[in-house]
Structure 1
């Protein structure tokens, strides 16, 4: 006679797994921190230097408190030590700084940005990190187009920082130039087309990676890519256009590298990659007049060569240790006020992260920064081209998420030639965050730094899953 068992084989029904409220709040904070870094000067234009500084400092304090509360797993031996070395040398420069007040203030911002980047890298998994970056970029893109639409529709005239409608002495002073409907360059919430262009390019990359990785809501993602591409085009930043070319070259090379099936098969691709890089650089230099004229820029990169000459002149007076950290230059400091002007405005950077670092931190700082980027490029490259492997199995599929660090590296290396922005805000934040994440979690979904967040969400975990 059949007997019904009281112990069925299948598991009893249970509600779907949900993230804890604490983890959701922590992830929301990470999105806000990334938005702060990506939106950059928008806070200064909207609320002024004091409020923007207070928000940055308060954000740093909250992140430090969260670090002690959440206690994410950190392998201290695998910190990005070249970043630590650069940070230490920049901090030490206050001892001989020619502008100690500016050094102290900008060092505080550097420390805050670095701590926040390390926290995000430690607290989020790779998938959560990319999703958080995508969410922050959506806010930047949406607010940029909404801001330009509001100015052109309801104001109908250029506006100055502080939402002031008035006449500026030079167009460079405007927060928005009311160009949405007349075909001119858009500046977004950052108030600068050269800041909007690279961020829009990063948004295209992040949204595309999410789309290829099979993220939900694919149609909205495609719309976000289209909006970012539109803002990228309307920003009309020559540096961003060149960065886009570099991104395409790097992406094509990585995909070719992934097709290699035997040892030595990548050699020919490295040769082609090097030839394209060297040839492209020589072409850009020899035909710079024609190229920059076609992009609507002067051959001297819109006056940058004159700025570089002035900065290099000061840098050679203290070539080894530099004049003291100052990123960005404080326009109210007597050392910078009126030193170099552009359209009547005091310039706040050297428009080259390498020349800027040489002037501030000397040859020693320049070497340390070079080591930071060399280590990042090296790790991010092999993170993208090597098949994930931590045991005998050698056929695991590549993850689209591994493309983000090396493509981001292409953007900041090109941007850093003609801008100092990679030394601050989102450029520095993403460099530290992605570099630290690669060291802490060299395989997506594997290791304590990846597993802990899954446990926090209540998900079953398995090493190597």
Structure 2
């Protein structure tokens, strides 16, 4: 017989499940790796070549020390590795056999290998939600430190600053400066460099920050108003960087976002086909408009027909690349400025240029047609998977009406920004750009589905 009691039939209250300290430390280390990759030039300007090399070696060793035991315990799905990206890395190493600058090839290949290892590591040990949060924190560090650094140079130091905190002599070329201290010159005044020491690099990092911060905001995180503040800070840095390349990357990412949202409204294959035809027609019309208004657009951006001297760089690189069109002249990303092959070869404002300002031309120059095909394969595979990752509903059973996850748009936005940047910069095939390419390529193969909860894996499926 039932009796009245004050004892509840529910389970006794308990504290919510918490993550292990080890995994929290892993995420903190992942943030440090991403900050170090995105702001690599800040470490170089702060520590010099030797200090930056030591930091690179230490982080790579620590990553392997963490990752190898985890692979031994949990295994690694080898078939899911981004094999085209690994083939590009292998071809870059093989090019040392015929390289015109073998020392530079081996030196810069270690950078490429380290960037590849970090990308594979992050994709393997983090979930999609954790990747988003780690990128969010890393870019907040870069944006916040950049703003604080520029404010310190402008308000406290009140003079330009050279790398390693050296004082510039009178009449020194401003292109060598780490920061020119011009943050408060005007609302839209002279370009600033941020802690990374380069306006174009700061601009493209702002584009990535826009994408990451907006996606993170869409997941309804704690303290959402602060996320809006960070978007505002990023907007200030983006405007003051004055980078036309970053503006093009922002437009490309925004158009991809619109296309994803439009495609998500398609309910049948026929509707998708009509939308694809609409995209193709809009793309052709846009290309015609850009062609007709090209000169006017350059005037609005304050650029000339040479794209700030890039046409001369492209012509010079092409002339040398055409000498070895199949296998290339030998890998070196970036170009090592003290190597005789590059020292004084192409000089801009007294500085030896260290890349071709176009990732496709750079790949052709270094690794020939084979290298271009490998890079093309890497980006086609990445763009294909990223697109359908974003436009297809998450489905692992008969339920076809699950809501889309905001995290699913991150990969196509980053891919679009990198492809746009690659038209005038070589960043997408080296250093942090390559790390993101490897990370996304591997993660899209490891976890091609993301549920409503961006941190949770589908039932019956592994979390990573």
TM range (shorter): over 0.9
Task: Quote the Cα distance in structure 2 between the aligned partners of 1:439 and 1:93.
Answer: 28
TM-superposed CA distance for 1:299, in Å, is 1.5
The answer for unaligned runs of 5 or more in structure 2 is none
Task: Quote the Cα distance in structure 1 between the aligned partners of 2:378 and 2:132.
Answer: 22
After superposition, residues 41-56 of structure 1 pair within 5 angstroms as 41-56=41-56
**Contact 1:315/1:358 (8 A) holds in 2:** yes
State the Cα deviation string for residues 132-178 of structure 1 (Å, max 9, x = none): 00000000000000000000001111111111222353211111111
Matched residue, 1:381: 387
TM-superposed CA distance for 1:3, in Å, is 5.3
State the Cα deviation string for residues 404-461 of structure 1 (Å, max 9, x = none): 1101111111110000111122211111101111100011259xxx77xx8xxxxxx9
Residue 205 in 1 paired to residue 211 in 2? yes
Work out which of the residue numbers 342, 345, 357 in structure 1 matches 2:363: 357
Matched residue, 1:463: 460
**Contact 1:293/1:299 (8 A) holds in 2:** no
Task: Quote the Cα distance in structure 1 between the aligned partners of 2:291 and 2:167.
Answer: 42
Matched residue, 2:294: 288
**Contact 2:203/2:241 (8 A) holds in 1:** yes
TM-superposed CA distance for 1:2, in Å, is 4.4
Work out which of the residue numbers 136, 139, 164 in structure 2 matches 1:137: 139
TM-superposed CA distance for 1:47, in Å, is 1.3
TM-superposed CA distance for 1:283, in Å, is 3.2
TM-superposed CA distance for 1:463, in Å, is 2.9
Residue 246 in 1 paired to residue 252 in 2? yes
Task: Quote the Cα distance in structure 1 between the aligned partners of 2:278 and 2:258.
Answer: 11
**Contact 1:73/1:122 (8 A) holds in 2:** no
TM-superposed CA distance for 1:26, in Å, is 0.8
Q: Look up the SS of the partner of 2:395 in the other structure.
A: coil
TM-superposed CA distance for 1:7, in Å, is 10
Task: Quote the Cα distance in structure 1 between the aligned partners of 2:96 and 2:227.
Answer: 46
Matched residue, 2:377: 371
For the aligned residue pairs, the C-alpha RMSD in angstroms reads 2.0
Work out which of the residue numbers 434, 437, 442 in structure 1 matches 2:443: 437
Work out which of the residue numbers 264, 270, 280 in structure 2 matches 1:274: 280
TM-superposed CA distance for 1:285, in Å, is 3.6
Residue 326 in 1 paired to residue 329 in 2? no
Task: Quote the Cα distance in structure 1 between the aligned partners of 2:97 and 2:65.
Answer: 29
After superposition, residues 197-236 of structure 1 pair within 5 angstroms as 197-236=203-242
Task: Quote the Cα distance in structure 2 between the aligned partners of 1:261 and 1:352.
Answer: 39
Matched residue, 2:406: 400
Task: Quote the Cα distance in structure 2 between the aligned partners of 1:283 and 1:256.
Answer: 22
Work out which of the residue numbers 80, 83, 88 in structure 2 matches 1:81: 83
Matched residue, 2:61: 61
**Contact 2:132/2:212 (8 A) holds in 1:** yes
**Contact 1:125/1:445 (8 A) holds in 2:** no
Work out which of the residue numbers 108, 123, 126 in structure 1 matches 2:125: 123
Matched residue, 1:32: 32
State the Cα deviation string for residues 89-112 of structure 1 (Å, max 9, x = none): 111111111111111111101111
| CA shift in 2, pair 1:73/1:224, >3 Å | farther
Matched residue, 1:457: none
Matched residue, 1:158: 160
**Contact 2:206/2:238 (8 A) holds in 1:** yes
TM-superposed CA distance for 1:271, in Å, is 1.9
Task: Quote the Cα distance in structure 2 between the aligned partners of 1:297 and 1:53.
Answer: 36
**Contact 1:201/1:229 (8 A) holds in 2:** no
After superposition, residues 185-204 of structure 1 pair within 5 angstroms as 185-204=191-210
State the Cα deviation string for residues 65-119 of structure 1 (Å, max 9, x = none): 1002333553211111111111111111111111111111111011111111111
Task: Quote the Cα distance in structure 2 between the aligned partners of 1:44 and 1:275.
Answer: 46
Matched residue, 1:303: 309
The answer for unaligned runs of 5 or more in structure 1 is 455-460
**Contact 1:31/1:133 (8 A) holds in 2:** yes
**Contact 1:260/1:266 (8 A) holds in 2:** yes
Q: Look up the SS of the partner of 2:96 in the other structure.
A: helix
Residue 17 in 1 paired to residue 17 in 2? yes
Matched residue, 2:347: 341
Task: Quote the Cα distance in structure 2 between the aligned partners of 1:10 and 1:131.
Answer: 34
**Contact 2:405/2:451 (8 A) holds in 1:** no
Task: Quote the Cα distance in structure 2 between the aligned partners of 1:369 and 1:358.
Answer: 10
Count, aligned residues: 455
TM-score (norm 2): 0.94
- Higher alpha-carbon deviation: 340-349 or 242-251: 242-251
State the Cα deviation string for residues 232-285 of structure 1 (Å, max 9, x = none): 111110011111111121111110000111221022221222223233334334
Task: Quote the Cα distance in structure 1 between the aligned partners of 2:215 and 2:435.
Answer: 20
Task: Quote the Cα distance in structure 2 between the aligned partners of 1:63 and 1:438.
Answer: 21
State the Cα deviation string for residues 393-413 of structure 1 (Å, max 9, x = none): 100000110101101111111
**Contact 2:394/2:451 (8 A) holds in 1:** no
